[in-house]
Amino acid sequence: EMLEKVKEILTDYTEVPVTEITLATDLVNDLDLNSLDVVNIVVVFEDAFGIEIPDRAIRDLTTVEDIVRYLETYV
């Protein structure tokens, strides 16, 4: 499932256990990621799913749900 793949990737960048990451999890406020972390994670998603995520879309990816919805739409 897409959510599980997203959570797996995110756990490489945060100390938060995968079991605590939900659709409502905020990348900055809950996972303590900074903007550079988010950009690096987007690159991993691009590689993992074989897509390109435009810069203008990145700023809209603030929660795990945003990422899952984006990937489900474009993958």
3-state class of 24 per DSSP? coil
3-state class of 20 per DSSP? helix
Query: pTM of this prediction?
Result: 0.94
Residue 69: how many CB atoms within 10 A of its CB?
15
Query: Per-residue pLDDT tens for 1-50?
Result: 999 999 999 999 999 999 999 999 999 999 999 999 999 999 999 999 99
pLDDT (0 to 100) of residue 61: 96
pLDDT (0 to 100) of residue 65: 98
CB 64 within 8 A of CB 10: yes
pLDDT (0 to 100) of residue 75: 94
